Amino acid sequence: MTLIKTKIGRRAFIRTTTLASGGLVLGFNWLASCKNKTEEEILAMPKEWFEMNSYLKIGDNGVVSIYTPNPEFGQNIRTSMPMIVAEELDIDWKNVVVEQAPYHAEKYGMQFTGGSRGIMTRWEPLRMAGASARHMLVAAAAEAWQVPAEEITTENGVLYHKTSEKSAAYGEMASAAAKITIPEDVQLKEVRDFKIIGKSHKNVDAKRIVTGEPMFGLDYQKEGMLIAMIEHPPAFGMTLKSVDNSAAKAMPGIKDVVAIKSFKDGYEKGGFDTNAFPEIVAIVGNSTWEVLQAKKKLKVEWKPIAAYSETIAGFRGKETKNIPAGLESSASHKAKMEELSSRPGKIVREDGDPAKAFKNAAKVIERTYSAPFLAHNCMEPMNAFAHVEGDKAQIAAPIQIPSLIVPTIASGLGIPAENIAMEMPRMGGGFGRKAYAHYVVEAALISQKVNAPVKLVYTREDDMTNGIYRPAYQATYRAALDQNNNLTALHVKAGGIPESPLFANRFPAGALDNYLAEEWSIDSNITIGAFRAPRSNFMAGAEQSFLDEVAEASGKDPIQFRLDLLKRAKENPVGEQNDYDAERYAGVLELLREKSDWNQTPANVHRGVSAYFCHNSYAAHVLDIRMEEGKPVVEKVVCAIDCGIVVNPDAATNMAEGAITDGIGNAFFGELTFKDGVPQKTNFHQYQMIRMSDAPKEIEVHFVANEIAPTGMGEPPFPPIFGAVANALYKATGQRHYRQPFVTEKQIVG
Amino acid sequence: MATYQLNINGKSHSVDVSEDTPLLWVLRDHLDLVGTKFGCGIAQCGACTVHLDGSAIRSCSTTLAQVEGKSITTIEGLSEDGYHPLQEAWKEVDVPQCGYCQAGQIMTAAAFLENNPAPSKEDIKNAMHGNICRCASYNRIFKAVEMAAEKMG
């Protein structure tokens, strides 16, 4: 067994009260009060709860309630996080109920849903939560039975003492256990002893989802609650000049029309305070439809912004950003990107003597790849509930990183941060967008101004045109080949608007004697942010398409070509800063080669392969395409992933399937363009999303079996699919595809 | 403002709203039936799908005048206890990721299977084409519809 000191994340073990009596609250308290409980839920109700630590409490009837600390946006951590606790606690999964923990920085640290960090960062604390509670139950039994604790065993929520033939259910011992001091260190199970982790468990919220129970942010309701909507500038590069609210205010059901300003003067922004339009107008009324009608009557004058610089205090320390004035267009973006691409960039990494290698090359291949801005388009548009009363605020919002927006709300409202209580309802998708919670700040400011509980709702058009978009990117790759067509040098120069997508220390860096990585960026007033596997979601497609072309020029099988480079990176790596583990990287490719039956391409399909490392995990795909009347049909995708221990395999498979199809959709169709600062798509009649008919007919997901602590899962399968699509399209059409979106013929449907 | 008598999930409701109010917002704002979701407001994504006399319609683009006197079914009323074969199949296949679009997906599938109890693969794809799932859980949605069709057939 592994001995783990509980002082790691010790704050999570603070017990506020021993006895947490009161009714079981499933989900949100507002939900419990407005819905009748099902028969199972009533049966599960204990008379008393005993809190063991911040993550779990045990009922006198043996039911265990486990708090899931991070917000849920579809990655199913509301099932997999409690599974980790239940494993170490050694209980029967059917006796577990799951509750969403509210925002509580002291108890739960950063409740961060994003960056594929959830399971990875919670792995140890959640195991400790379960194991330490089990330890306390054992200690209580040892005392009650007057036997040594070492002689007590547990199984499925029951304590046993073999020699004296004593046994007790956890529920019977919970009261005494809750009085035991939380241990200094705990024993964790060996991986081979896992009974819950590694076995598929169904989504704990499935029934509620399929019966339409209120659970999303947009479903939030409270007595006396008003509805708010916003009017924001029609173009990036513009801001509020003046508002004439008379016509809108006179509309039926309208309570108020107010201008709000998200940041107080002098406020220093954090890394997730991105906000395209910090000065907007809010319309507040009784019902959504009435507010929507009044929104149409609103007369607002907008004015151009002046250029400015701002200091952002983000994860990487303080950074200065320059925001230019002007109304930007995709045509001028393209011209600027071409210009920057042709100039020397900022050198980020240089190994060997790339200039010499290119000079001596028998052949040089140079290719340029690009991808447009993308909108997140979460199915649930941005929304937030806020009720500000005096110096206190109650918030309920679909949000990925609550702790990072609390200081912004506190500053905007002028109240202490500790007076802000926040619940995090299930998110109807996030994909990075709900990490930028300006809509929560807006809701709070509106509530304060109108002095009422308010639910702010974005229309789809607001959501799509007030985005924190995936940036537009471009990358040029050059390869030097010797007379035997061996790759001797690689040069990548990548940039974007307004950030570079480059990861200079990722594969194939480390596998090549001569390597040069440069980057550039172009300032913009269009707001950008994380979008499922930020930067990787472009670089993987460009890099993996290029390597495919180089492999072909070298006369090598594309998988073997990559494996040869990885062998070099493992045995004799170049440089010391290589981010990836060459052996794990090669492992997914080898598993993929086997599972896809790589050497036997099925009849009538064309195969593309691609692999990538990001978010501490490795993913690789083989994608089979067939052309039908000039359009690509994806027959099958076989995927291999190494994300360490897979907590809930079927849920992880579901996420990988989603990443694959999401990636195919964005590679085929994803695009947002701008004209004079105006996003050229406003809703799904213009923005083509992948639909069932374009999804792969079959997806197979395979995991590398190992005992490595879990690494990222939500993002890693997404980036490499872009390369697999491009490489399969080449095989199918004879044409290399360099510029996304790849399928330009629009197939808009309703 | 006008008063409408609506028959929703077998119960009669009287609502007093402006004539142009779409059914979606009456369900969500006035009747606390929030299982029907807002996605786009222009009948392009399917999140707001309900049944009108058994046919799937987009409630975001349907006025009350169009539905008065007819029978409306929402996800809350699809089955008495949440055990419609589609709801069962959805749980069995473990379809949802974020879950937001799933009520609309199920409502589209339910009306479709009523009219086409033995669908081909192409039939299912055509029927489900109007419902967007941003998490792209399409393979599982497809599997669940196929499974329910088998059980119902």
Give per-residue pLDDT as tens, A727-741.
Answer: 999 999 999 999 999
Task: Indicate the residue of A210, A218, A219 with minimum beta-carbon distance to B90.
Answer: A210
Q: Which of B98, B106, B140 to mutate to test the interface with A (most CBs of A within 10 A)?
A: B98
Q: How far apart are CA A637 and CA A621, in angstroms?
A: 7
Contact across the interface for B102 and A209, Cβ inside 8 Å:
yes
Task: Select from B30, B40, B136 the Cβ nearest to the Cβ of A661.
Answer: B136
CB contact under 8 A, A654 and B100: no
Please, which pLDDT band fits residue A39 given cuts at 50, 70 and 90?
very low
Query: Is there a domain that residue B146 lies in?
Result: yes
Average pLDDT, chain A: 93
- Model pLDDT, residue A201: 97
Which residues on chain B are in Cβ contact (under 8 Å) with A637? none
CA separation for the pair A535, A537 (Å, rounded): 5
Span A144-172, average pLDDT = 97
Q: What pLDDT was estimated at residue A316? A: 85
Number of separate domains in chain B: 2
Record: contact B94-A651, CB cut-off 8 A: yes
- Across residues A4-28, what is the average pLDDT? 41
CB contact under 8 A, A380 and B91: no
Residue A404 scores a pLDDT above 50: yes
pLDDT for position A744: 72
Is residue B144 located within the same domain as residue B120?
yes
B89 and B66 in a common domain: no
Out of B86, B95, B134, whose CB is closest to A689? Answer: B134
How confident is the model at residue A43, as a pLDDT?
Answer: 52
Kindly state the tokens that stand for A279. 């000065």
Tens digit of each residue's pLDDT (9 = 90 or more) over A475-495: 999 999 999 999 999 999 999
Chain B partners within 8 Å of A205 (Cβ):
96, 99
Selecting from B20, B32, B100 the residue whose C-beta is nearest the C-beta of A380 gives B100
CATH (domain of B39)? 3.10.20.30
Tell me if B80 is assigned to some domain. Answer: no
Arch. (CATH architecture) of A2-210? 2-Layer Sandwich (3.30)
Residues β-bridged to residue A300: A243
Cβ atoms of B112 and B49 closer than 8 Å: no
* Model pLDDT for residues A459-477, shown as the tens digit of each residue: 999 999 999 999 999 999 9
Cβ <8 Å between B18 and A293: yes
pLDDT-derived band at A630 (thresholds 50, 70, 90) equals confident
Nearest CA in chain B to A383: B38
Q: Which CATH architecture has domain A344-374+469-733?
A: 2-Layer Sandwich (3.30)
- The DSSP H or E segment spanning A242 is strand A238-244
> Do B41 and B96 fall into the same domain?
no
Given a cut of 80, is residue B52 above it in pLDDT?
yes
pLDDT digits (tens, 9 = 90+) for A576-605: 899 999 999 999 999 999 999 999 999 999
- Give the other-Cβ count within 10 Å of A350's Cβ: 16
The reply to whether residue B37 touches residue A288, judged by beta carbons under 8 angstroms, is no
Instruction: Let me know how many helices (H) and strands (E) chain B has, helices first.
Output: 6, 5
Residues 6+ apart with CB under 8 A from A52: A15, A58, A129, A132, A133, A136, A174, A177, A178
Of A215, A689, A692, which is closest to B142 when you measure between CB atoms? A692
**B100 occurs within a structural domain:** yes
CATH 3.30.365.10 holds for A217-308+382-457: yes
Assembly ipTM: 0.98
> Residue A489 corresponds to which tokens in the numbers above?
């040098």
pLDDT band at A107 (very low <50, low <70, confident <90, very high): very high
Mean pLDDT for the stretch of residues A497-523: 98
Rounded to an integer, the average pLDDT of A335-363 is: 98
Tens digit of each residue's pLDDT (9 = 90 or more) over A300-316: 999 999 999 999 998 88
- Statement to judge: residues B100 and B66 lie in one domain: no
| Distance in Å, alpha carbon of B139 to nearest chain A alpha carbon | 7
Range of the domain at B52: 2-74
Same domain, B30 and B93: no
Claim to verify: residue B41 and residue B12 sit in the same structural domain: yes
| Residue A7 pLDDT | 46
Residue B79 lies in a domain: no
According to the model, what pLDDT value does residue A749 have? 37
Residue A699 touches chain B, beta carbons under 8 Å: yes
Nearest residue in A to B79, CA atom? A211
Position A42 pLDDT exceeds 90: no
Choice between A6 and A518, residue whose per-residue pLDDT is larger: A518
C-alpha to C-alpha distances, A227 to A66, A257, A278, A420, B41, nearest whole angstrom: 33, 12, 20, 21, 16
For chain A, percent of residues with pLDDT exceeding 70: 93
- Pick the more confident residue, A6 or A280: A280
- Considering only A308-317, A350-359, A651-660, which range has the smallest mean pLDDT? A308-317
Task: Indicate yes or no: CB of B136 within 8 angstroms of CB of A665.
Answer: yes
pLDDT of residue A687: 97
